[in-house]
Amino acid sequence: MKAPWNFTRFLPLAERVLSRGRLPALIFAVVRKSKGQAGRFSQLKTHAKLLQDLCVAYWRGEYRQINPRALVIIVAGLMYFVSPIDAIPDWIPGIGFLDDIAVLAWVVRSLENELNAFKAWRERLRPENLRKVERLPASAQALQLEHNSGEKPGL
């Protein structure tokens, strides 16, 4: 399946985000945008939340059973989602999020096996452990510190 137009330029940026440890900042940008106007589109919010949850679990070291290239594609998709300058600018009423929906849907379809494996992993967790894994601290800095200190939410 061919990548959506304008998406591939986010791939090298995603590699840099991952290599420089900037994933927490991206995760919190996704949270902010999902709570805003994008939250009105249930499919967009659902896809963004799944990809966000995978990134949080990966960042914390709880879930590492993902192909590195798949992780880059997920991060690139989330970067596309939070970018106000993409194929259709988000500020255009009524249609600004259509390209975001299309890109995240493409990421989810393209990585269906990887995401199904992640969902199956989450389903095997006890509810209290799942809450700990998905819990976000108050800020990106706190999530960064959690990672740097080696602290894990515990299973």
Write the pLDDT tens digit of every residue in 112-134: 999 999 999 999 999 998 988 88
116 within some domain:
yes
2 within some domain:
no
Q: What is the pTM of this model?
A: 0.87
3 within some domain:
no
Domain residues for the domain of 69 are: 10-148
Angle, CA 44 vertex, CA 39 and CA 50 arms, to 5°? 100
21 within some domain:
yes
Q: Which residue has the tokens 């990106």?
A: 140
| Domain count within the chain | 1
144 within some domain:
yes
Give the C-alpha separation, 90 to 150, whole Å. 37
Percent of the chain past pLDDT 70, that is, above it, reads 86
